[in-house]
Amino acid sequence: MYGVGIAQPRGKDPGVSPGTTTKLDEARRDRATGVLLGQACGDALGVPYEFLDPPLGLEDEPEMRGGGLGPYEPAEYSDDTQMAVCIAQVAAEGSDLTTDDALDEVAERFLKWSEWEASDIGMQTARVLAAARTGTGRPAERLRREARRLHEQTGKTAGNGALMRTGIVGLVALDDLETTARAARSVAELTHADALAAESCILWSVGVAIAVKQGTFAGVRQALDFLPSGSRDYWAARLDEAEQGPPDIFRPNGFTVPALQAAYSSICTELASSAPPNGTSIGLHFKRCLTTAIRIGDDTDTVAAICGALLGARWGASAIPDRWRADIHGWPGLRGEDLGSLGILTASGGGG
């Protein structure tokens, strides 16, 4: 079932991303390492509680006990992170995710994964990938064509399946946020034609990039500047709602808008009540945010995966509990160290 996971660099100079040169000091390396690793931990933590009502008892804490829709082994991440790994394997080679060649590579990995190795796939993504297998033309264009066709048929293609995998895109061009935004849109549009899906990915990917670079959660709101002017007021209002909370109003969250709001609200709520370093340790804050995200219910693994990517980008891999880092694993045979390496390779343009 498992194959080769870590992409090998193509001889790029260290610190070179698809835009300009990025210098990764120790703190930024830690935060870049935390993005995919944090997503995977949130994902695996949310797996057992997906679509349960209620997902947790009032006094219960989530555990990586497996099960879910896979079913999954304890501490195994789901399709949310599997698709992010497909992207990371391309980005970690130093490929520019705004180019046709790189998008073809991502599309090919999605297609192969979905046909032979996927443990679970969201309904919208599954329909697009299945239809694209029998199409003609370049892989990325086949996916985009089927995504557009599905949108024309249904008018409802803003599921959370693009947002769940976008955290790693935030690492592709840390010194060029315009490129980050274009890459987020390009990767989202492979399977999700609705503009809301791409815009949510831009907000989160740029938010991740700024978190890694500057050590702040403020990047999600700053990312509004990278949206089309006609969309900024809509998303500013949605971020206002998320900041005001409470998080549990953002359910159901299969739609990309409440999925983003649920993840962001979980972080904002815990920041207000126990902001490190004054209220609690960074590691405990990491755990509390993910617990809050899972308590919201509905698509728990996806919301926690989205949340975990931004938490990892802000607090770094060092904030993730040691046991989680040791136990986390999944397709295609990756463990925590491998996921962290993919993040570093992506952030440094393939240079490590």
Q: What is the pLDDT of residues 277-333, one digit of tens each?
A: 555 578 888 999 999 999 999 999 999 999 999 999 999 999 999 999 999 999 999
Sign for the pseudo-dihedral over CA of 14, 348, 186, 233: negative
Name the one residue in this structure whose structure tokens are 């693994």: 301
Instruction: Tell me which H or E stretch contains 152.
Output: helix 139-154
CA distance 102 to 87: 9
pLDDT at 13 over 50: no
pTM of the model: 0.92
Query: Has residue 272 got a pLDDT over 90?
Result: no
Q: How many CB atoms lie within 10 A of CB 265?
A: 28
CA of residue 132 relative to chain centroid, distance:
23
Give the rounded distance of the alpha carbon of 187 from its chain centre. 12
Q: What is the pLDDT of residue 274?
A: 55
What domains can you pick out in the chain, each with its CATH number?
A: 26-347 (1.10.4080.10)
What is the percent of the chain where pLDDT is above 70?
Answer: 91
The string of pLDDT tens digits covering residues 30-69 is 999 999 999 999 999 999 999 999 999 888 999 999 999 9
- Residue in 169, 161, 322 with CA at minimum distance from that of residue 256: 161
pLDDT of residue 20: 43
pLDDT at residue 70 in the model = 86
Computed over every residue of the chain, the mean pLDDT equals 91
* pLDDT score for 57: 87
pLDDT, residue 271, reads 82
Average pLDDT of the residues in 186-210: 98
pLDDT (mean) for 322-348: 97
| Amino acid, res. 89 | Q
Q: Check: CB of residue 210 under 8 Å from CB of residue 222.
A: yes
DSSP state of 319: G
Residue 330: beta bridge partners?
334
Residues 232-248: pLDDT tens digits?
Answer: 999 999 999 999 999 99
Cα–Cα separations (whole angstroms), residue 310 to 39, 170, 221, 313: 8, 9, 13, 5
Number of H helices, E strands in the chain: 14, 2
Place of tokens 């007021």: 233
Element (H, E) at 329: strand 329-330
Instruction: Classify residue 295 by its DSSP letter.
Output: H
pLDDT for 282: 83
- Token representation of residue 223: 């990312």
pLDDT score at 211: 98
Cβ-Cβ contacts under 8 Å for 321 (sequence gap 6 or more): 283, 286, 287
Which residue in 113, 286, 313 sits closest to 208, CA to CA? 313
Strand-pairing partners, residue 16, are 21
What angle is formed at CA 124 by the lines to CA 334 and CA 226, rounded to 5 degrees? 80
pLDDT score recorded for residue 7: 33
What is the structure's pLDDT at 278? 52
CA torsion, ordered 190, 194, 196, 200, to nearest 10 deg: -10
d(C-alpha 347, C-alpha 173), whole Å:
7
